[in-house]
Amino acid sequence: MESTDEHQALAVEELAIKANSPPTSYIVKDSESTISTTLPILEIPTIDTTLLSSSSFEAAGELRRLRTALRSCGYFQAINHGMSASFLDEVLEVTGKFFKLPLDEKRTYSRDENGIDGYGNDVIYSDRQTLDWNDRLYLHVLPESIRKCEKWPRLPQNFREILLEFTERLRVMNEIIVKAMEKSLDLGENCFLDQFGKNPISLTRFNFYPPCPWPDRILAVKPHGDASGTTYLLQDKEVEGLQVLKDDHWYRVPLTPDAIVFNCGDQLEIMTNGIFKSPIHRVVTNKEKERRSVALFFSPELTSEIKPAEGLIDDKHPKLYKSVIDYTRNYFEHLQNGRRPIDALKI
């Protein structure tokens, strides 16, 4: 178990069993991050989703809290989102069941060389890359025309049904939240929604993090800002791991039973001319326990031009980002080469 190539061909779940020393390609370089699991907890506000779209007196206060949260750290926890606790349990349960299938079965859904959808781990762009201690399944769900149905697990049997339901619930919630963002910044209706286009893209990432014997040297997901417009995360109920960089310090994101963790992605940072932050976050590993999470990313349709909203730009607030079409195209390559993809668009 010494050669780098050999490690790269393995699923992380296999490495977790076979490696008897930390695999070189997974060890975090000193310059990248100092890993600690004993950090302060990030106080992220709780936002009532239903209240955001109501016309009640309290709605204005909720919109202000939303704006404050997204300006300061780009995160909040959404409650009152209409999904029952038992449904969210099912989402985590089908995720766990999929990753517990035999490796050979999971590999029938392996990602194609140039594709995104399917089962696998980090795509290798260079031999200096640091790999993540994470097996994952990526599936596009919306628009229907871009689904790669052959990568959708047939087991567990209710997997597809749960994925469709979860996506539909979050699609509706995303519209409420994006509209609330427009309102909170006093922008015209649909100013951001129009940039998402008629057929926004939804991409789901099912994450499985096996226990890692070297949590102080290996990260489960290295620091990144999401490529999306908006991200909705269902965290494991018992095992923490997500950390966020705020004012140059790392904080732990608390577990949020029955809540959905929201964060802005890079494309929303661009649309808001940097007012809302796409937070840098990472995931640490756990020595004893495995962890699951499900992230759902909404992005503008591929032909849509993403740009800072006109209403946010004036003499005092110049445009900070160039316009871009298909932001996600070069995202992974930049990221895996240690660059922050959004920096390439800064004016």
Ligand X SMILES: O=C(O)CCC(=O)C(=O)O
What does the binding site for ligand X look like in residue numbers (CB under 6 A)?
205, 207, 221, 226, 233, 235, 241-242, 281, 283, 293, 295
Alpha-carbon span 270 to 267, nearest angstrom: 5
The three-class DSSP label of residue 187 is coil
Q: Which long-range contacts (CB under 8 A, 24 or more apart) does 107-114 make?
A: 109/137, 109/150, 109/151, 109/152, 109/153, 111/138, 111/151
Q: By CB under 5 A, tell whether 182 contacts Fe ion.
A: no
Judged by beta carbon, residue 197 or residue 254, the one nearer ligand X is: 254
Among Fe ion, ligand X, none, residue 233 binds (CB under 5-8 Å by kind): ligand X
Among ligand X, Fe ion, none, residue 191 binds (CB under 5-8 Å by kind): none
Contacts of 244 (CB under 8 A, 6+ apart): 42, 73, 75, 250, 251, 253, 279, 280, 281
Among ligand X, Fe ion, none, residue 283 binds (CB under 5-8 Å by kind): ligand X
Judged by beta carbon, residue 35 or residue 309, the one nearer ligand X is: 35
Q: Tell me the residue number closest to ligand X, measured at CB.
A: 293
Among ligand X, Fe ion, none, residue 242 binds (CB under 5-8 Å by kind): ligand X
Q: Tell me the residue number closest to Fe ion, measured at CB.
A: 226
Q: DSSP string of 34-67?
A: ---S--PBP-PPEEEHHHHTS-SHHHHHHHHHHH
Among ligand X, Fe ion, none, residue 137 binds (CB under 5-8 Å by kind): none
Least distance CB 224 / ligand X (angstroms):
7
Least distance CB 226 / Fe ion (angstroms):
5
The three-class DSSP label of residue 141 is strand
Among Fe ion, ligand X, none, residue 195 binds (CB under 5-8 Å by kind): none
Among ligand X, Fe ion, none, residue 306 binds (CB under 5-8 Å by kind): none
User: Six-digit token pair at 158?
Assistant: 């209710």
Q: By CB under 5 A, tell whether 236 contacts Fe ion.
A: no
Judged by beta carbon, residue 226 or residue 240, the one nearer Fe ion is: 226
Judged by beta carbon, residue 226 or residue 236, the one nearer Fe ion is: 226
Give the interface size with Fe ion as a residue count (CB under 5 A). 1
Query: Which segments within the chain are labelled E, that is strand?
Result: 46-48, 75-79, 118-120, 135-142, 201-209, 219-224, 230-235, 242-246, 249-252, 260-264, 281-284, 291-299, 305-306, 324-325
Contacts of 199 (CB under 8 A, 6+ apart): 142, 143, 301
Judged by beta carbon, residue 184 or residue 207, the one nearer ligand X is: 207
Least distance CB 203 / ligand X (angstroms):
10
Among Fe ion, ligand X, none, residue 205 binds (CB under 5-8 Å by kind): ligand X
Least distance CB 147 / ligand X (angstroms):
20
Least distance CB 57 / ligand X (angstroms):
35
Contacts of 236 (CB under 8 A, 6+ apart): 92, 255, 291, 292, 293
Least distance CB 220 / ligand X (angstroms):
7
What's at 183, amino acid-wise?
Answer: K
CB 44 within 8 A of CB 69: yes
CB 272 within 8 A of CB 185: yes
Alpha-carbon span 257 to 238, nearest angstrom: 9
Alpha-carbon span 316 to 328, nearest angstrom: 30
Paired strand residues for 292: 208
Judged by beta carbon, residue 25 or residue 293, the one nearer ligand X is: 293
Q: Which stretch binds Fe ion (CB under 5 A): 21-29, 66-74, 125-133, 219-227?
A: 219-227
Place of tokens 């490796």: 103
Judged by beta carbon, residue 235 or residue 304, the one nearer ligand X is: 235
**Identified binder of Fe ion from the candidate list 135, 226, 236, 290, rule CB under 5 A:** 226
Site residues (vs Fe ion, CB under 5 A): 226
